[in-house]
Amino acid sequence: MKKKKSQREEVAELKVSKSRDFSEWYNQVVQKAGLADYAPISGCMIIRPYGFAVWEKIQGWLDRELKRTGVENAYFPIFIPERFLKRESEHFEGFVPEVAWIEKMDENEERYALRPTSETIMYDAYSKWIRSWRDLPLRINQWNNIVRWEVKATRLFLRTREFLWQEGHTVHSTGKECEEEVLLRAEQYKKLVETRLAIPVVIGKKSKSETFAGALYTIALEALMPDGKGLQMGTSHNLGQHFAKVFGIRFLDRDGEKKHAWQTSWGLSTRTIGALAMVHGDDKGLVLPPRIAPIQVIIIPIYDNKTKGKVLKEGGKVRRKLEGKFEVHLDDRDSYSPGWKFNEWELKGVPVRLEIGPKDIRKKQVVLVRRDNGVKKPVKEKGLVKELEKTLEAVQENLFSKARSFLNANTKYAKNFRELERLIKNRKMARAYWCGSEKCEGKIKEKTGATIRCIKEESAKKEGKCADCGKQSKTIAYFAKAY
Amino acid sequence: MKKKKSQREEVAELKVSKSRDFSEWYNQVVQKAGLADYAPISGCMIIRPYGFAVWEKIQGWLDRELKRTGVENAYFPIFIPERFLKRESEHFEGFVPEVAWIEKMDENEERYALRPTSETIMYDAYSKWIRSWRDLPLRINQWNNIVRWEVKATRLFLRTREFLWQEGHTVHSTGKECEEEVLLRAEQYKKLVETRLAIPVVIGKKSKSETFAGALYTIALEALMPDGKGLQMGTSHNLGQHFAKVFGIRFLDRDGEKKHAWQTSWGLSTRTIGALAMVHGDDKGLVLPPRIAPIQVIIIPIYDNKTKGKVLKEGGKVRRKLEGKFEVHLDDRDSYSPGWKFNEWELKGVPVRLEIGPKDIRKKQVVLVRRDNGVKKPVKEKGLVKELEKTLEAVQENLFSKARSFLNANTKYAKNFRELERLIKNRKMARAYWCGSEKCEGKIKEKTGATIRCIKEESAKKEGKCADCGKQSKTIAYFAKAY
């Protein structure tokens, strides 16, 4: 199909290739596909309707999953009194450089921060609401906006001073329940990220230096981006009794004793949308996995003045046939050429395009084009629903399998520092034994720029030498530069 | 049924009657039913899970309705540069006393407000996105948090420094389309409020002094609370070309000319939840209309140690039968007595209670109790689904019809100032002719405390004398004190 020139054609094409300038490619794809735009506030972004529709897909799936497993939604104020943040000094210090404060309206009022996360304000309320074991477990989630006044430059979705996320905060009567909860939420994130976003992750604990301020330990999901950098897709924290002691969350247990409660918190943010663009996109733009795509099937009618009525009518018929089964849209705008539309919907990453022209109508078929591999084939209208179901599943699987191959091919074992350094330099994720000391971790970071994305304990008999100091260890760490 | 004492019984009962101390009753019902709680930040609230579940019901219905009529969701920053707010001076002055600002992190940065509403930041983006008639109409909605630093005391849901709402902002190529849009959104709000929340409203324009800062005119939905005060349930503004001129939103029209666009904005907030509590509640607590109730049917098993297994099993059977058809919950907590549970679920306003005891199982029945009128009757399990459908419809209708009777009985015509003054004193809403002058409006406000909630133009031949100055007029104004 020859592409007809249009006065707006420039909007629907990228000016740079993914392999040549990844960073510029990412900026263009996010903006031109209509996911997000820079805001006139330094370090902030506007999530545009198409990007927000992706977020709604993520929300829809995760929200159902959380509710199915006992979580309720609520809303706490964006304002956090300074004295709350200070109550847990480790937590406070972890956020200090990024906290934004509001100007005092009244000298008598205290100083309020904009939430960098909501542990403190939620746990103050929890301490009032929880009295007995009968009030537990308590599982509350918030979908809200978070403010962290980052100094580094904006990267749309990845590093902005305000972003959207969900934060879940649970309270339990035993530490064991806590451990199960932390794992459950990490598993739900993994399922979301791998089976919906089609992005494979490495899952493991954070090292102490990367653990959430105030937590016993943090489980993180780490994905590998095409430029060799790690991107954290979600975290789940076991808070132990730490915050419960600071905020006085106590409950009367079945045995008649007052005890401090056990807690977890976990979050997943709009930065996952950035990962989605980076992992699957190509030189034509976004490539969205069908299960997260706001539009799964785009119908493009191809007509001239003579055939217009007939083709549009047939397009409408096909749309009605697919509605309710797929997220389908008919692009019947008269002011754009088919070629321009092909470009635009490819840029937006719609998984499947259906073309309908006069010849197709005669043959009772449509032409189906896959976004992920460009494969084009005619499909009889009669078998269209079945064929689409099969194709969308195939696209979903192909995207995941390609991303997994990339992750596997770019995650390499380093048996010593020299190998680790070379891997990082070559934009790989390095698997290496690590003795567990902050000294070795710090030295590696200083010399290679890579941080420990997560760690895994080896099974019983395996062990090896720390890539830095050479000490025997059972801990495998995943090293990469990070967003 | 005799109510068994429990150590927690105090939580599940109100300590004041609605008619004796309405304000205290409202505070208690909102907190004890678990809708909301005061936050440790002066003037702020926490929306608790049960209250948030009501908000999700409102969101769910309205979001579907908006999307069905061409609206897309997006997210704009909470930060608004001071220069943006100042660009439209009338708009800015309307919000100045309530604007909260963040402390500057860096001397070179400009001053940022927390959004009191998002016209300015959205329209700056619109001016970049809109080029041609082909980009119109543009209809974007946000579900977000809003900050207005009110000085008056907090009223949960009704007056807090932060609240949740949706704000829709549309752009059109003609003024006529704008007028239709403003009406469409007002009608959708009316449908939501009347057919879901079961609260009848008076709908009409605002007087100039109550019109949104920067709008041509504002259409408001006004409900009457049991204490005779008006409560604004939603507003829809025709912005004309005012903001388009200030922010430079221009488009190339079909005729080849560059024109300023036409705009609307409209919003509905969590304060509707406050109205819900006030309008339908009684001395036992909330009474929720079935179509907005997070739980429509609560099943309470009644058993002793001997019958426990059998009754709980039957309760589970009934729940499974109703699931998917109704929002149903089985309260199988062993640590609370049936009487305590009756109180708690009445306090939470669940429309229908089903009691199941050993006798009921023998008779293959459940006992159905309506929350709105207390009527109790046995229902054969076989016909339960049908009976529930009928009952929930009847409860919904009864609540609306009671509220409408109250509105009608308490909205009275005042032919002169003396009558108007007496009506307001007696906590009525007064309908009166008004000449349209701000002088008369101001005088009435000063002397009676009542403001014009909305105005309606009389049909062709009708007219009457302004309640203040006596001048002939075709404009009917609705006067009431307001929240």
Residue of B10, B35, B46 to mutate when probing chain A, most A C-beta within 10 A: B46
Interchain contact, B40 vs A124, CB within 8 Å: yes
User: Do A330 and A466 belong together in one domain?
Assistant: no
Interchain CB contact of B333 with A (< 8 Å): yes
Q: Is residue A299 part of a domain?
A: yes
Interchain CB contact of B458 with A (< 8 Å): no
Reported as a single tens digit per residue, the pLDDT across B396-454 is 999 999 999 999 999 999 999 999 999 999 999 999 999 999 999 999 999 999 999 99
Q: Taking residues A198-210, what's their average pLDDT?
A: 96
Interchain CB contact of A93 with B (< 8 Å): no
pLDDT at residue number A11: 56
pLDDT score of A372 more than 70: yes
Helix A49-68 × helix A271-280 angle, to 10°: 110
Interchain CB contact of B463 with A (< 8 Å): no
pLDDT band at A462 (very low <50, low <70, confident <90, very high): confident
Q: Where on the phi/psi map is residue A439: left (φ > 0), alpha (ψ -120 to 50), or beta?
A: alpha
pLDDT at residue number B78: 98
User: Do B220 and B313 belong together in one domain?
Assistant: no
Contacts of A75 in chain B (CB under 8 A): 46-47, 52, 55, 145, 164
pLDDT at residue number B96: 80
Q: How far is it, in rounded angstroms, from Cα A260 to Cα A123?
A: 12
pLDDT score of B41 more than 70: yes
Q: Is residue A399 part of a domain?
A: no
Interchain contact, A72 vs B78, CB within 8 Å: no
The tokens describing A7, both together, are 């006065």
User: Do B58 and B165 belong together in one domain?
Assistant: yes
Identify the domain boundary among B230, B246, B280.
Answer: B280
Q: Taking residues A83-96, what's their average pLDDT?
A: 84
Q: Is residue B27 part of a domain?
A: yes
Interchain contact, A79 vs B44, CB within 8 Å: yes
Do the Cβ atoms of B247 and B87 come closer than 8 Å?
yes
Taking the CA of residue B307 and the nearest CA in chain A, the distance in Å comes to: 23
Element containing residue A401 per DSSP (H, E):
helix A384-409
Give the nearest partner residue to A42 out of B56, B109, B134, using CB atoms.
B109
User: Do A166 and A21 belong together in one domain?
Assistant: yes
ipTM, 2 decimals? Answer: 0.95
Interchain CB contact of A335 with B (< 8 Å): yes
pLDDT band at B153 (very low <50, low <70, confident <90, very high): confident
Residue of A9, A79, A156 to mutate when probing chain B, most B C-beta within 10 A: A79
Element containing residue A387 per DSSP (H, E):
helix A384-409
User: Do B97 and B158 belong together in one domain?
Assistant: yes
pLDDT band at B7 (very low <50, low <70, confident <90, very high): very low
User: Do A365 and A469 belong together in one domain?
Assistant: no
Interchain CB contact of B125 with A (< 8 Å): yes
> Shortest CA distance to B34 belongs to which of A129, A263, A66?
A129
Q: How far is it, in rounded angstroms, from Cα A450 to Cα A441?
A: 9
**CATH at residue A463:** 3.30.110.30
pLDDT at residue number A361: 97
Reported as a single tens digit per residue, the pLDDT across B308-346 is 999 999 999 999 999 999 999 999 999 899 999 999 999
pLDDT band at A79 (very low <50, low <70, confident <90, very high): very high
Give the nearest partner residue to B77 out of A74, A78, A162, using CB atoms.
A162
Reported as a single tens digit per residue, the pLDDT across B216-275 is 999 999 999 999 999 999 999 999 999 999 999 999 999 999 999 999 999 999 999 999
* A477 three-state secondary structure: strand
User: Do A100 and A202 belong together in one domain?
Assistant: yes
* B235 three-state secondary structure: strand
- Residues contacting residue A222 through CB under 8 Å, at least 6 positions apart: A201, A202, A203, A204, A230, A231, A232, A233, A453, A454, A478, A480
Taking the CA of residue B429 and the nearest CA in chain A, the distance in Å comes to: 34
pLDDT score of B11 more than 80: no
pLDDT at residue number A366: 98
pLDDT at residue number B1: 40
Contacts of A51 in chain B (CB under 8 A): 74
Q: How far is it, in rounded angstroms, from Cα B145 to Cα B167?
A: 10
pLDDT at residue number B3: 42
pLDDT score of B12 more than 80: no
pLDDT score of B179 more than 50: yes
Residue of A31, A38, A41 to mutate when probing chain B, most B C-beta within 10 A: A41
Q: Taking residues A225-242, what's their average pLDDT?
A: 97
Find the closest chain A residue to B110 by CA distance: A41
Indicate the burial class of B236 (C-beta count within 10 angstroms; 0-12, 13-18, 19 or more): buried
User: Do A48 and A143 belong together in one domain?
Assistant: yes
Identify the domain boundary among B329, B364, B393.
Answer: B393
Under 8 Å CB pairs connecting chains A and B tally to 127
pLDDT at residue number B139: 98
Q: How far is it, in rounded angstroms, from Cα B274 to Cα B276?
A: 5
Interchain CB contact of A102 with B (< 8 Å): yes
**CATH at residue B139:** 3.30.930.10
State the total domains in chain B: 3
User: Do B352 and B242 belong together in one domain?
Assistant: no
pLDDT band at B2 (very low <50, low <70, confident <90, very high): very low
Interchain CB contact of B99 with A (< 8 Å): no
pLDDT band at A458 (very low <50, low <70, confident <90, very high): confident
Interchain contact, B124 vs A40, CB within 8 Å: yes
pLDDT score of B461 more than 80: no
Q: Is residue B475 part of a domain?
A: yes
- CA distances (Å), origin B268, targets A404, A426, B50, B121: 45, 53, 19, 19
User: Do A476 and A353 belong together in one domain?
Assistant: no
Interchain CB contact of A469 with B (< 8 Å): no
Q: Is residue A353 part of a domain?
A: yes
Reported as a single tens digit per residue, the pLDDT across A259-271 is 999 999 999 999 9
Q: Is residue A80 part of a domain?
A: yes
Residue of A55, A66, A76 to mutate when probing chain B, most B C-beta within 10 A: A76
Q: Is residue B6 part of a domain?
A: no
- What is the domain extent for residue B426? 411-480
The CA angle A459-A462-A468, to the nearest 5 degrees, is 115
pLDDT at residue number A105: 81
Q: Taking residues B281-310, what's their average pLDDT?
A: 97
Q: Is residue B398 part of a domain?
A: no
pLDDT score of B108 more than 90: no
Q: Taking the C-alpha atoms of A462, A467, A472 and A475 in order, what is their torsion angle to the nearest 10 degrees?
A: -50
Give the number of C-alpha atoms closer than 13 A to the C-alpha of residue A364, restricted to the C-beta side. 4
pLDDT score of A37 more than 50: yes
User: Do A80 and A153 belong together in one domain?
Assistant: yes
* A289 three-state secondary structure: coil
Lowest pLDDT segment from A114-128, A151-165, B70-84, B335-349: A151-165
Do the Cβ atoms of A449 and A468 come closer than 8 Å?
no
User: Do B156 and B107 belong together in one domain?
Assistant: yes
* A340 three-state secondary structure: helix
pLDDT at residue number B186: 98
Do the Cβ atoms of A259 and A173 come closer than 8 Å?
yes
Identify the domain boundary among A252, A280, A308.
Answer: A280
Find the closest chain A residue to B73 by CA distance: A49
Q: How far is it, in rounded angstroms, from Cα B169 to Cα B262?
A: 11
Interchain contact, B145 vs A53, CB within 8 Å: no
Give the nearest partner residue to B46 out of A77, A101, A103, using CB atoms.
A77
DSSP B371: T
3-state helix, strand, coil in chain B (%, to 5): 40, 25, 35
Contacts of B48 in chain A (CB under 8 A): 74
Reported as a single tens digit per residue, the pLDDT across B374-410 is 999 999 999 999 999 999 999 999 999 999 999 999 9
pTM above the 0.80 mark? Answer: yes
Residue of A103, A104, A120 to mutate when probing chain B, most B C-beta within 10 A: A103
DSSP B243-265: HHHHHT-EEE-TTS-EEE-EEEE
pLDDT score of A10 more than 60: no
